Amino acid sequence: MTNGGEAASQRERLLLDASRGGDAAAFAALLRESAPALERLALRLVGDRHDAEDLAQDAALRAWRKLPGFKGESRFKTWVCRILVRRALDFLRGRHRMEEVREHLPAIVRDPEEHAVARELDDAIRRAIEELPPVQRATLLLRADQGLSYEEIAYVLGSTRNAVRMNLVAARKKLADRLQGLVDLGGDA
């Protein structure tokens, strides 16, 4: 009996083989499984929904063009994430300042004061993530949002496992330093 991972891997291999043979429907099926995660990652990386959609579409188009060169050394989703992150980093290098993320983190709160405090904290976290250097931001988001392993993140970023670890440590320290005074929001009320 095969486990779910092996079955998914077998399905992915079949879809990849069909895609390499020019089957656009098979490629679309591969993308459908990765699209929500790619779009979320792109949005978190660049902070603007329209730019994120453009980057995700560009990554999909590049993946289609580069599919014959994909050796299957990683999962398809990881490979497309690599393409997306590289495009996003290029995009961010060409931009001087991040725009504020338009999507709001959901807050489960009961009273208006708690809601205001939660919203302020969410905004502070979002701004702190946006202020991270692009490679640290990408590393943090690939780990926290996408759940990628250090090896997968290294592959996506074209880096090493040790560099990923160092970028995560640096990103977390910067976030902790930036957010240190916000832990007691509303505590004096």
pLDDT (0 to 100) of residue 182:
60
* Residue labelled with tokens 């990765």: 34
Question: Model pTM greater than 0.75?
Answer: no
* Residue labelled with tokens 């089957």: 23
User: 139: number of CA atoms within 13 Å, CB side?
Assistant: 24
Render pLDDT for 138-148 as a digit per residue (tens, 0 to 9): 998 888 888 88
* Residue labelled with tokens 């077998």: 10
pLDDT average, residue stretch 118-136: 82
Report CA dihedral (107, 113, 119, 123) to the nearest 10 degrees.
Answer: -160
pLDDT (0 to 100) of residue 148:
84
pLDDT average, residue stretch 79-106: 67
pLDDT (0 to 100) of residue 107:
41
Closest by CA position to 21, among listed 77, 81, 64: 64
Between residues 179 and 89, which one has the greater pLDDT? 89
Between residues 144 and 2, which one has the greater pLDDT? 144
Q: What is the mean pLDDT of the chain?
A: 78
pLDDT average, residue stretch 118-123: 73
Q: What is the SS3 assignment for 21?
A: coil
pLDDT at residue 61 is higher than 80: yes
Q: Which domains does the chain have, with CATH numbers?
A: 1-101 (1.10.1740.10), 104-189 (1.10.10.10)
